[in-house]
C-alpha cells in the first residue's frame, strides 16, 4: 500500500471531521446564545456531553430484530468467523463483533452498537455475490467503523443536529408570537438572527451528511490498512454499486447515477471511493501479511439459513440501510 498517500488521506479525513463537527457545534452555540442569552452555550454543550456519556447503548440484538436478523455462530460458518477473527486481531478490536445474517436478497452490510457491544450484519445477497477477498474488504470496512468509534461520533452529530433544529423551531415560534409587537414597533426584529434560525437546521443537517461521507472514506482507508488489499474492497464496491441499479437502468441508461445531489447522500460517490482505493496500490505491497495472500475460505452457511426475502423498501431505512 502507498503509505505516503495513505497518511495524506488519513490527515485529510481527520481535518474534515474536526471541521464538520466543529461547524455543527458552532451553529448550536450561536442558536442557543440567540435564543437563551449570552453565556448559555457552555451549559448546552455540558448537557450534550452528559447525555452522550449517560445514555445506555441500545442492544444490537434488539435493533437487528427489525431486519429479522439471525446470529452466525462459529459452528455455522467456520470460514467466515475465522476471517472475522483475523480482521479483528489486526484492527485491535475486542470484543469481537457478533456476525448476523439478514434473510434478504438485497446487497448490503452494516455495523451497529458500540466498541463494547457491537454487531455486523450481512445480507444473504451480499454473502452469495462476493468472493472471499471482496468479503474480507467489506468486513474490514465495517470493523473499521467500530474501531474508529464512528457510531458514537455520528450519534453525537445527530444529537447536536436535533438540538439545533429544536432550538431553531422554538425561536421561530417565539418570533411568530411576537410578530404583532414587531408590527406595532414595540419589539425589535433581529433580521440576522431570524435568518440564522431559518438556515441553521438545514445547514446542520448538511454538515451531518458531510461528516457521514468523510467517515466512510476513513473506514475505507482503515480497511485497506487492515487487509493490505485496496483492490479487494474496490472490487466489492463496484459489484455492490452495479447490483443497486436495476436491470432496465443498466440496459437503457448505462450512465444512470443516483439522482440525489451529492450533498444529500450519506455515502460518497462509489466511483470516487474506488478511485481513492486504487490510488493506494503500490508496486511493492507494504503490508506484512496482506489478507489477499492468505487462502481465504468461502463464507458458506448451512442449509437451514433459508427463507430469503426480496429487497424491501423502508421509508426510514430505505433498502436495508
> Model confidence over 82-96: pLDDT tens digits?
999 999 999 999 999
Question: Taking 90 as the threshold, does the pLDDT of residue 203 lie above it?
Answer: yes
Question: Taking 80 as the threshold, does the pLDDT of residue 293 lie above it?
Answer: no
Q: According to DSSP H, which parts of the chain are helical?
A: 3-36, 41-54, 60-64, 78-91, 124-129, 132-147, 150-177, 179-183, 191-227, 230-244, 247-252, 270-279
**Residue 248 — pLDDT band, cuts 50, 70, 90?**
very low
Give mean pLDDT, residues 251-267: 60
**Residue 274 — pLDDT band, cuts 50, 70, 90?**
very high
- pLDDT computed for residue 313 by the predictor: 47
How many degrees, rounded to 5, is the angle at CA 269 between CA 264 and CA 275?
155
Q: Please give the mean pLDDT across all residues of the chain.
A: 83
- pLDDT computed for residue 307 by the predictor: 66
**Residue 134 — pLDDT band, cuts 50, 70, 90?**
very high
Question: Taking 70 as the threshold, does the pLDDT of residue 282 lie above it?
Answer: no
Give mean pLDDT, residues 148-154: 91
pLDDT digit string, tens, across residues 1-11:
667 888 888 89
Question: Taking 70 as the threshold, does the pLDDT of residue 298 lie above it?
Answer: no
Residues noted as catalytic: 142
**Residue 163 — pLDDT band, cuts 50, 70, 90?**
very high
Block residue for cell numbers 457510531: 151
| Number of residues that this document lists for the chain | 321
How many degrees, rounded to 5, is the angle at CA 233 between CA 219 and CA 64?
60
- Residue 92, phi-psi category: left (phi > 0), alpha (psi -120 to 50), beta (remainder): left
Domain ranges of the chain: 3-243+264-293
Question: Taking 90 as the threshold, does the pLDDT of residue 266 lie above it?
Answer: no
Distance (Å, whole) CA 81 – CA 70: 14
**Residue 62 — pLDDT band, cuts 50, 70, 90?**
confident
- pLDDT computed for residue 283 by the predictor: 45
Give mean pLDDT, residues 162-177: 91
Question: Taking 90 as the threshold, does the pLDDT of residue 190 lie above it?
Answer: no
- The C-alpha cell at 228 is 493490505
- pLDDT computed for residue 154 by the predictor: 92
**Residue 99 — pLDDT band, cuts 50, 70, 90?**
very high
Class of residue 162 by CB neighbours under 10 A (exposed 0-12, middle 13-18, buried 19+): middle
The more confident residue out of 42 and 161 is: 161
- pLDDT computed for residue 311 by the predictor: 54
The more confident residue out of 229 and 295 is: 229
Amino acid at each position: 500500500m502507498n503509505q505516503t498517500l495513505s497518511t495524506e488521506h488519513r490527515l485529510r479525513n481527520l481535518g474534515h471531521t474536526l471541521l464538520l463537527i466543529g461547524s455543527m457545534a458552532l451553529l448550536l452555540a450561536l442558536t442557543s446564545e440567540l435564543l437563551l442569552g449570552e453565556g448559555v452555550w457552555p451549559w448546552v454543550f455540558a448537557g450534550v456531553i452528559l447525555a452522550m456519556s449517560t445514555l445506555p447503548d441500545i442492544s444490537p440484538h434488539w435493533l437487528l430484530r427489525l431486519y429479522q436478523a439471525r446470529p452466525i455462530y462459529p459452528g455455522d460458518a467456520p470460514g467466515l468467523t475465522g476471517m472475522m477473527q483475523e480482521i479483528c486481531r489486526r484492527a485491535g478490536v475486542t470484543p469481537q463483533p457478533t456476525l448476523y445474517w439478514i434473510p434478504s436478497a438485497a446487497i448490503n452490510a452494516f455495523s451497529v452498537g458500540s466498541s463494547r457491544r457491537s454487531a455486523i450484519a450481512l445480507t444473504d445477497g451480499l454473502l452469495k455475490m462476493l468472493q472471499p477477498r471482496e468479503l474480507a474488504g467489506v468486513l474490514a470496512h465495517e470493523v473499521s467503523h467500530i474501531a474508529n468509534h464512528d457510531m458514537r461520533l455520528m450519534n453525537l452529530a445527530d444529537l447536536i443536529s436535533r438540538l439545533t433544529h429544536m432550538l431553531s423551531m422554538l425561536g421561530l415560534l417565539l418570533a411568530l408570537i411576537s410578530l404583532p409587537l414587531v408590527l406595532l414597533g414595540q419589539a425589535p426584529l433581529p433580521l440576522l438572527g431570524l435568518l440564522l434560525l431559518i438556515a441553521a437546521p438545514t445547514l446542520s443537517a448538511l454538515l451531518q451528511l458531510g461528516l457521514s461521507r468523510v467517515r466512510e472514506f476513513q473506514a475505507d482507508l482503515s480497511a485497506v490498512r487492515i487487509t493490505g488489499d485496496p483492490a479487494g474492497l474496490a472490487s466489492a464496491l463496484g459489484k455492490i454499486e452495479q447490483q443497486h441499479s436495476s436491470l432496465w437502468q443498466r440496459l437503457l441508461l448505462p450512465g444512470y447515477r443516483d439522482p440525489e445531489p451529492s450533498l444529500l447522500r450519506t455515502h460518497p460517490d462509489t466511483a470516487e471511493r474506488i478511485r481513492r482505493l486504487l490510488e493506494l496500490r503500490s508496486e511493492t505491497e507494504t503490508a506484512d501479511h496482506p489478507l489477499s495472500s492468505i487462502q481465504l475460505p468461502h463464507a458458506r452457511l448451512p442449509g437451514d439459513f433459508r427463507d430469503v426475502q426480496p429487497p424491501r423498501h423502508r421509508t426510514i431505512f430505505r433498502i436495508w440501510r
